[in-house]
Chains A and B, each alone.
Chain A
Amino acid sequence: MIWKLALRNVLRNRRRSGITVLSIAVGLAALTFLWGFIDGQNRQMVNNTTRYFAGDAQVHLKGYHDDPSLDRAIGAGDRVLAAVRADPAVAAATVRLETTVLASRADRSRGIAAFGVDPAGESAVSDLSKAIVDGRAFDGPGDSGILIGADLAEALALRAGDDLVLVGQAYDGSVASARVPVRGVFRTKIDDLDGYVAVMPMAVMRDFLAAPSAVTAVAVRLRDRGALAAATESLSIRVGSDHEVVGWPVLLPMVAVSTRFHEVMGIVVLAIFFVMVAAGVANPVLMAVLERTREFGIMLALGTGQSLLFRLVVAEAALLGGAGLLLGNAVGLGATAAFGRIGIDLGAFAAGLRTMPGLEDVIYPVVRAERSLFISVMVFVIALLMALYPALRAATLEPVAAIRGIGERGKARVRGRGEPAPARRSRWPVFVLIAARNLLRNRKRSAITAFAAAFAIVAYVFLYGFFDGFAEQIVGNSTGYLTGHLQIERQGLRRDLAPELAFEDAGGVLKAVQAMPGVAAAAPRVQAQALASSATKSVGVMLYGVDPDLEPGITILHRTFVEGTPLARGAERDIVIGRRLAEKIGARLGEKIVVMAPGLAGELGTAAFRVRGIFATESSSFDGAMVFVTLPAAQRMLGLGDRVSSVNLRLVDRSQVDAVARQLAPVVASRGLVASTWPELLTRVADMVGLVRAIRTVVVAVFFLVVALAVMNTVFMAVAERTREFGVMMALGTPPDAIVRMVVYETVALMLLASVVGYTVGAAIVSVFGSVGLDLSRFYKDYSAIPGLTGIVYPRLEWASLIGPGFGLFLASVAVSLYPASRAARLDPTAAIRHT
């Protein structure tokens, strides 16, 4: 009986029920799709990164993961391999021997990780051999040659069949070198693999390192990656306590961090949607109770129990929630499944996607039953919770007052009963006055709607503030720590940093550009790929030769020193390095580092430097991979004479970069140079910013859609409950357009209120976090793929980026009110006056 009554009540006001169901469904479908998208990209990242090379887990000698060195090679590789293979959770396992080398061809070089592998075993664990795009993979243990990534091949201008020179440290600490033919080139679309990994047969590697039986890792593919924890535990027992078993989240911290970050972002958006769905349900259910006060009074008078009324209202909410669930799940799961098949092509943000290892251009959302169940249960519970207050209100009505149509809202608040007050004059136009008073008349409804809209605005301002702060941070840091805003260079320098692309007359270029309007500072640099080695370890780095006097005008690195001091003029034997690099190679202040880099005319430049200072930018891509020496030292080491690789510029206003670049173009072109802007220098940063802005826009668009639906529902309810009033006003001669105006004024007032609250609270939150910072270091630790990203994000208010969407929300909300408003204006006055 209750359900029958509830269903009829829901169907009684089909339009309102329809809009309520729609707003639940839109939120639910958006959540389902968003989570499907996040799961899809996370699955792709983990699949690709583990499948292409890392494996699901690796076994090392204890301590190797934190401090990889040949000194920590596994002594009895065969025994460990056999033990690992014997584990039932293991599908396949293979041995590897890893070291860091400088890979060179002619005058181009790059520091890379080189792996010796067993071709047969490797193909059972990883799929690198399936990603060959040039040449061929290994066929058997007797093969020779080396497989390299496509980006490395491009940087060194190599193709299959060309020779690659490797220089590194042998097992005994001596310099190891070899010339190896490139057998194949692979492309995985994972930057770390394509740009910095080379693979050769185990025998060749052991020969190169003079380590006849060394193994540094046993890579493992599990039967079920989801059972990683159990497998890790079981393997640890098998291999013994002097070995470590490391799962993929530790092997691939960036992947783990990225997936966790995506999930956290998803949960934040989820929470925001839940609040909006709650507001979307609360309002119509409350209204449905208020408008039926008389009816409930009659039911109570006829002996209906309070609990029955309570259950009736809750049942109505359950029906609305249930219908929303059905529709939302149908649309959400349908869209997720459809895009799961055809994929979502984000190729336009290719460079940005590369910042997330393993992500391809096309993302395939994933339908996961447990996610849908969770969202559905949450939305349904929220719908029921939102019905509790109205249900309680209905159940506790006083029958007599209710039958007379006076709920609490109808109680007269008598003012001025004493002395007659002089007639008050309102200065407001009458329809604005009516609109304002109508909003105050049903304060709860107005408050719920304004709250929902204000909440969405707060979320929107915060989201924009967060992403603007995020973008500003990575752009500001990347340009501030590294490139400056513009770089004058020879065409092609950034592809391979070849020494022969250095140019002369840096002084002339400096003089010419310093006089340009908009240029704040300029400084010359030498840039080269190099291998930095301490007594025990070598790491591929970017070497910068800088002018200690001019460089502080371009970058702010000098402010980040945590030990020692920045470079000074004349300190030609000194080097400054990042804290992370210092940890990696075990170098301390005052200790010696040997730097090797390809010089002019194919000569290998080598020099020893004393660590003068250690900087910490908090961005691991800088702290772990950049070293700085003085300009003369770099020029001498690479045999450049007084030539430089680039002249870098800082502008007075970064946003003017394109205009300044255009002005500079003719000046530098006469010297055979080009002026590259920071988005060209930092394509990954620029694309990342574009990608996060695109995601932000999609999320905010769905917020706005839900808000617009909530506003439309509210206006419909406001119109419906005042049908008789509109009829009377029309009978009195109020023209239809005045009715429309009045309804629209109400929406405008509501949205103005929501905007004032939303923007004020949103701006306050952004300002607070903008000054104290939002500590996300848990998620970003070890995340080096996005240059300039640090653990603490400082959200920032950029009103310019808020105005457009904010104005759009305002207009959209007002526009959706036109429909109920025009329906009000088309009411038949005689029927409207009879309306109860």
Chain B
Amino acid sequence: MPTPSAIVRADKATKVYQRDSIPVPALHETSVEILEGDFVALVGPSGSGKTTLLNLIGGLDRPTSGRIWVGAQEITSLGRKALAEVRLRHIGFVFQEYNLVPVLSALENVEYVMLLQGVDEERRRQEALRLLHELGLEGLENRRPNELSGGQQQRVAVARAIAARPMIVLPDEPTANLDSQSGSALMDMMRRLNEEQGTTFVFSTHDPMVVERARRVIRLRDGRIEADERKAAS
């Protein structure tokens, strides 16, 4: 069982992809615990297993072997529908390429997950507006994604991820497509959410600026955890 403060746990998680019938190992018997309030950076070279680990702990993918817990629930053997429910209730994703729903406005994108959760219309509208304002997107609520800059889109993606109050937010290379100023502002914002609201973040990154702001850094290489360092509180 996970320790009381662990909100996500991987136990000897292995992932082997099949590419044209050739097995391609991506993660090898990796065990890790993410604690409530963590602000973790997964770092490592391309192909080290960062995104795979994020996908596994986010219930987006299933391990070839090993087990994953989200909260007290073991999700390894859940069906598609149940996994979708876990992601809906407990996980927030932020993607490298923003991946907003293109036909929905910024406001509707933020509302989307709350709508799936069954939050009533008035409350989700208020919450989405509050988040967008808080993330500096006031006045852009009705814009569609293709009418927003990359930084603005990524902030909408963060607002969407945290709107549903998930246990954990998993940004995958969140600053990769942003200029340094936008990237820095985004990290400040996520750090603030972490500190002020206790939102747990685990992000994969190559970006030294992101690593610098993380309070815990997990280094991966060839599908194995090479190091797991917790920085002193700053």
Contacts and interface: CB of A to CB of B under 8 A. Distances in A.
Contacts of A438: 103
Contacts of A730: 84, 87
Contacts of B125: 423, 425
A733 B60 CA distance: 9
Given A424-B142, A736-B80, A731 B60 contact: yes
Interface in B120-165: 125, 129, 138-144, 146-147, 160
Interface string B19-61: 0000000000000000000000000000000000001001011
A725 B105 contact: no
Interface string B91-116: 10101000111111101100111011
A732 B112 contact: yes
Interface residues of B, number: 42
Contact of A413 (B58, B108, B147): B147
B99 A728 contact: yes
A424 B84 contact: no
B88 interface: yes
Given A424-B105, A425-B125, A732-B113, A412 B146 contact: yes
A737 B107 CA distance: 24
Interface string B55-88: 1001011000000000000000000110011111
Contact of A441 (B87, B88, B102, B105): B102
B81 A724 contact: no
B89 interface: yes
A317 B40 CA distance: 52
A432 to B, nearest CB: 12
Contact of A416 (B55, B81, B87, B142): B142
Contacts of A670: none
A732 B93 CA distance: 7
Nearest to B157: A728
Interface residues of A, number: 37
A434 B104 contact: yes
A734 to B, nearest CB: 6
Interface string B167-205: 000000000000000000000000000000000000000
B147 A731 contact: no
A79 to B, nearest CB: 88
A735 B85 contact: yes
Interface in B188-229: none
A430 B81 contact: no
Contacts of B95: 728, 731, 833
A627 B111 CA distance: 82
Contact of B143 (A416, A426, A738, A828): A416
Given A415-B147, A420-B139, A728-B95, A430 B108 contact: yes
A369 interface: no
A414 interface: yes
Given A434-B103, A437-B103, A441-B103, A733 B146 contact: no
Nearest to A441: B103
Interface in A628-646: none
A403 to B, nearest CB: 15
* A-B pairs, 3 with minimum CB distance: A733-B88, A420-B139, A437-B103
24 contacts: A413-B146, A413-B147, A420-B141, A423-B125, A423-B142, A426-B108, A430-B111, A433-B103, A434-B101, A438-B103, A728-B99, A728-B100, A730-B87, A731-B58, A731-B95, A732-B87, A733-B84, A733-B85, A733-B86, A733-B89, A736-B80, A737-B81, A738-B116, A833-B99
Interface of B: 55, 58, 60-61, 80-81, 84-89, 91, 93, 95, 99-105, 107-108, 111-113, 115-117, 125, 129, 138-144, 146-147, 160
Given A433-B108, A731-B87, A732-B88, 11 more contacts: A420-B140, A425-B125, A430-B115, A434-B101, A438-B103, A724-B99, A728-B95, A730-B84, A731-B58, A733-B85, A736-B81
